[in-house]
Structure 1
Amino acid sequence: MGEISSFQLGVIGALFLSVASSVSIVICNKALMSNLGFPFATTLTSWHLMVTYCTLHVAHRLNLFESKPIDTKTVVLFGMLNGISIGFLNLSLGFNSVGFYQMTKLAIIPFTVMLETIFLKKQFSSKIRLSLFLLLVGVGIASITDLQLNFLGTVLSLLAIITTCVGQILTNTIQKRLSVSSTQLLYQSAPFQAAILFVSGPFLDQCLTKKNVFAYKYSPVVLAFIILSCLISVSVNFSTFLVIGKTSPVTYQVLGHLKTCLVLGFGYTLLHDPFTERNLIGILIAIGGMGLYSYFCTQETKKKQGDLTLGSQIKDKETAALLAGVLQDKENHEVKKSNKDSLV
């Protein structure tokens, strides 16, 4: 029971850290890009990953965690895949309307469910599927405003969905199969993610913004927000791997849509963004779907734990009965031997 409670506390802590850090970095980046005119999202992400790796390297040197070697090919391919997925998501946002980009993010959950069902043989109950449907409908109502389709944008969105889903499934699978922690996996893969974005980031940003990141005039305020964004990103990247490792890719996506609702709420409250009854209704439906998802997941987890406990008790009883039988046979044998000796 103690191990279960500590695990549940760890999950709650990871979820809280992920929500708090993600909402914080969204608000920070929105101020940086919208108010201060720094539009280079992909390059900024490469800086995030480099700062994350440097921070983890310092933590490792201070013996705050133990590095565990992972197969080089696995780490390189995994890091490159995650870097490519970030690039495709940014390209999807650049070549599509905001509404279609939101549809792309919503499509990640059903696509992840489909991949896990087909390739990992994972089962999702009808209650879980219903709660996910309500969540997607709510977020769609709250965040999707326009849907403008174009061929290039659609292809980029499809590639973004595929690479993101596969990357998040691998994040969970690698941690479990290789028995590595989220910190160890992030420490090993962050350099490769940073490298691919550091090389491709300026080119992608120039394609999307028609501006050169190296020609940008960095004011002290912009530099301060960039540093703040990089520091928050350490927590974001760490909590992402932590949540996916402790729960599942689907739960992480559900959490991501909770962040969307919170960002919409913070935008209305703090930044006075436009807010309508449609936004409110959508957020309420989404929160209801999240609540049902959490409740059903908790019930299924308790049922599995109960089944495991029952199975363990049955196994213990069978073992005890077997031992009792062995002891009884031994006693009978000793009695027979004693009787035989007394006759002699």
Structure 2
Amino acid sequence: MGEMSSFQLGVIGALFLSVASSVSIVICNKALMSNLGFPFATTLTSWHLMVTFCTLHAAQRLNFFESKAVDVKTVMLFGILNGISIGLLNLSLGFNSIGFYQMTKLAIIPFTVLLETLFLKKQFSQKIKFSLFLLLVGVGIASVTDLQLNMVGTILSLLAIVTTCVGQILTNTIQKRLNVSSTQLLYQSAPFQAAVLFVSGPLVDQFLTKQNVFAYKYSPVVLAFIILSCLIAVSVNFSTFLVIGKTSPVTYQVLGHLKTCLVLGFGYTLLHDPFTERNIIGILVAICGMGLYSYFCTQENKKKQSGDLSLSSQLLSAGVSVLLNHSQGWGSTLLGREGNCLRWLKKKKKT
């Protein structure tokens, strides 16, 4: 029971850290890109990952965690896949409208459910599916505006959905299969993610913004916000791996849409973004869907735990009965042997 309560506290802490850090970095990056005119999102992400790796390397040298040897090929492919996923998401945003990009992000949840059902044989109840549907409807009402389709943008969005889903499923699967912590996996894969984005980031950003990141004039204020963004990103990357490892890719996506609602709310209160009744209704519906998802997941986990406990008690009682039967058999065998010995002694005395 103590281990279960500590696990639940760890999950709650990971969820809180993920929400707080993600909302913080969105507000920081929005100020950096919208107010200060620094539009190089992909290059900034590569800096995030490099700072994350350097921070984890320093923590590992100070013995805050132990570096575990894993299959280099697996981690390298995993890191490259995640790096490509980030680049494709940025390209999708560049080639599509904001509304279609939001639809791309919404499509990640049903596609993740589909992949886990087909390849991992994971079952999702009708209640869970209904709560996810309600969540997606709410976020769609709150955030999706115009839908402008084009062939290149649609292909990029599909590729972004596939790579993002596979990367998040692998994050959960690799941690369990290789028995590594979220910190260890992030430490091993961050250099490969950073390398992919460090090479492709300036090219992607120049293609999307028509500006060169190396020719940009960096003011002290811009540098301060970049450093702040990189520091917050360490917490974002760490909490992402932590949440997916402790829960599931679907739960992480649900949490991501909660962040979207919070960002919309913070944008209205802090940055005075335009806000309508549609946004309010959508956020309320999404929060209702998230609440139902959390409730149904909790109920199913309790049923699973009670089922495991009843199965364990049945196995224990079956084991005890088997031992008793064996002991009774041994006792009768010994008594039979003692009777044979007594009869043999009586025959000896008569002779």
Specify the alignment match of 2:99 in structure 1: 99
Alpha-carbon separation, structure 2, partners of 1:76 and 1:333:
63
Distance 1:4 1:59 in 2: 28
The DSSP-based 3-state class of the residue aligned with 1:275 is coil
Q: Distance in 2 between matches of 1:172 and 1:342?
A: 68
| In 1, Cα distance between equivalents of 2:211 and 2:338 | 98
The residue that corresponds to 2:60 in the other structure is 60
Matches of residues 62-141 of structure 1 in structure 2 within 5 Å? Answer: 62-141=62-141
Q: Distance in 2 between matches of 1:135 and 1:98?
A: 19
| CA distance in structure 2 between the aligned counterparts of 1:66 and 1:308, rounded to whole angstroms | 32
User: Matches of 1:339 and 1:129 in 2, distance apart?
Assistant: 69
CA distance in 1 between partners of 2:217 and 2:342 (Å): 106
Whole-Å Cα distance in 1 between the matches of residues 238 and 78 of structure 2?
16
Shift of 1:73: 1.0
Q: Does the alignment pair 1:214 with 2:214?
A: yes
SS at match of 2:56: helix
Residue segments in structure 1 that go unaligned for 5+ positions in a row: none
Per-residue CA deviations over 1:114-161 (Å, capped at 9, x if unaligned) read 111111111111100000000000000000111111111111111100
Q: Which residue of 2 aligns with 1:232?
A: 232
Aligned residue identity for 2:149: L
The aligned amino acid for 2:17 is: L
> Is 1:14 the equivalent of 2:4?
no
**Structure 2 alignment gaps of length 5 or more:** 346-351
Deviation digits for residues 229-276 of structure 1 (CA, Å, limit 9, x no counterpart): 000000000000011111111100000000000000000111111000
What amino acid maps onto 1:78 in structure 2?
A: F
Cα deviation, 1:281-339, whole Å, max 9, x if unaligned, reads: 00000000000000001111111111110000000000111111111112222222223
How far apart, in 2, do the equivalents of 1:269 and 1:340 lie? 94
Q: Secondary structure at the match of 1:174?
A: helix
For residues 160-179 of structure 1, the aligned pairs below 5 Å read: 160-179=160-179
Alignment-derived partner of residue 249 in structure 1: 249
Matched with 2:273 is 273
Aligned to 2:285: 285
How far apart are residue 49 of structure 1 and its match?
Answer: 0.2
Distance in 1 of aligned mates of 2:321 and 2:341: 30
Deviation at 1:22, TM superposition (A): 0.3
Report the CA distance between 1:72 and its aligned residue.
Answer: 1.3
The aligned counterpart of 1:326 is 326
One-letter amino acid of the structure 1 residue matched with residue 222 of structure 2: V
Q: 1:4: Cα distance to partner?
A: 1.2
Matches within 5 A, 1:300-311: 300-311=300-311
Report the AA paired with residue 65 of structure 2.
Answer: F
Could you tell me which residue of structure 2 aligns to residue 200 of structure 1?
Answer: 200
- Write the distance in 2 (CA, Å) between the matches of 1:151 and 1:341: 94
* Whole-angstrom distance in 1 between the partners of 2:58 and 2:336: 71
CA RMSD, Structure 1 to Structure 2 (Å) = 0.7
Alpha-carbon distance in 2 for matches of 1:237, 1:300 = 29
Indicate the larger mover: 180-189 or 332-341: 332-341
Alpha-carbon separation, structure 2, partners of 1:285 and 1:265: 14
**In 2, Cα distance between equivalents of 1:231 and 1:204:** 23
- Distance in 2, matches of 1:75 and 1:268, equals 40
Identical-pair percentage: 80
Whole-angstrom CA distance in 2 between matches of 1:187 and 1:323: 49
Aligned partners of 1:319, 1:61: CA distance in 2, in Å?
48
Which string of whole-angstrom CA distances, capped at 9 and with x for unpartnered residues, describes residues 170-219 of structure 1? 11111111111111110000000000000000000001111100001111
Q: Find the residue that maps to 2:63 and give its secondary structure.
A: coil
Which residue pairs with 2:340 in the alignment?
Answer: 340
Q: Tell me the distance in 2 between the aligned counterparts of 1:45 and 1:143.
A: 23
- How does the TM-score come out when normalised to structure 1? 0.99
Report the equivalent of 1:48.
Answer: 48
**Superimposed CA distance per residue, residues 99-128 of structure 1 (whole angstroms, 9 cap, x where no aligned partner):** 000000000001111111111111111100
Q: For 2:287, give the aligned amino acid.
A: I
Corresponding position of 2:348: none
Query: In the alignment, is residue 185 of structure 1 matched against residue 180 of structure 2?
Result: no
Q: Which amino acid aligns with 1:79?
A: G
Look up the equivalent residue of 2:16 and give its one-letter code.
F
Structure index of larger Rg:
2
Instruction: Output the amino acid matched with 1:300.
Output: E
The alignment partner of 2:314 has SS state of helix
Q: Give the drift of 1:2.
A: 1.3
